[in-house]
Amino acid sequence: MKPIFLCAINNILSGTCQEDCKFCTQSVRYHADIERYNYKKIDQIVSEAKLAKENGALGYCLVTAGKGLDDKKVDFVARAAQAIKAEVEGLNLIACNGTATKEQLLYLKKHGIDSYNHNLETSERYYADICQTHAWSERYTTCENVKSVGLALCSGGIFGMGETQEDRDDLLKAITSLHPESTPLNFYHPNPALPIKTRNIELAEAIDIINKARTLLGEDTLLMVAGGRELLFNGQENKMFEAGANAMVIGNYLTTTGLEPKKDQLMLERLGYEVATSCDTH
């Protein structure tokens, strides 16, 4: 069995987004009960990167709330990336900062970012039902920009937000058309403050999505089970790996608590999987 690639997320700017994405607690519009703060101290980000590496993570994602990058965010993420690279070896540094131009992405690449995460979230057809403040096309263009500057692309979506089977299939096709190096599959986690109150997905459907994604994306793409994993696969994680996943997020998510990394390590050990120790997964 191939080793499982672990990734950790750091929310370095939280809960300040002005957009109206109905699935996201980071939006100020819905007044979700989350921790909100401006830029974290860089030494704290570095310390948390060290802890993530100790817990087996090879991917480390720096996330900022908001629609996209501006000069201040670009500079801050670049400085954080340089500080991490100076003290922590072997991490694949991922930036997740919304829409981005080629110039902004090149600057991040120059300062230590290896990969850029920007999810398409859902099909182009369904997107207007969950967000009106920006268009799906902006997301797709950002992903194209990532590829054009030579950064690795991490792009996926969220399932269970009320979309149809056709929407799910179209999302997977759109992701595949971008040829991402990694794809996170998120499963909607309801929050009482959000307009989307329930999730329309069951375990069997999630397994089918992973299976289809693996078939479409091929064997070289890291296929990562991310948000909502604990809700669907609790005690049945073997099924997500058997369906084709070979990566997962450990620790907390952006505004949602995940499992203790030690529990995930024990789970992988129990299932007979090793944790990847190198970013070269092929």
pTM of model > 0.85: yes
Give 178-209 pLDDT, tens digit per residue: 999 999 999 998 889 999 998 899 999 999 99
User: In this predicted structure, what is the pLDDT of residue 255?
Assistant: 52
Give 71-90 pLDDT, tens digit per residue: 999 999 999 999 999 999 99
In order of their start, the domains of the chain are: 5-271 (3.20.20.70)
Burial 133-148 (b: 16+ CB within 10 A, else e): ebebeebbebbebbbe
**What is the mean predicted confidence (pLDDT) over 245-269?**
79
Of 193, 196, 282, 268, residue with least CA distance to 6:
268
Of all residues in the chain, what percent are helix, strand and coil, respectively (each to 5)?
40, 20, 45
Secondary structure class of 148 (helix, strand, coil): helix
Question: What confidence category does residue 282 fall into, taking pLDDT thresholds of 50, 70 and 90?
Answer: very low
User: In this predicted structure, what is the pLDDT of residue 33?
Assistant: 81
**What is the mean predicted confidence (pLDDT) over 240-261?**
79
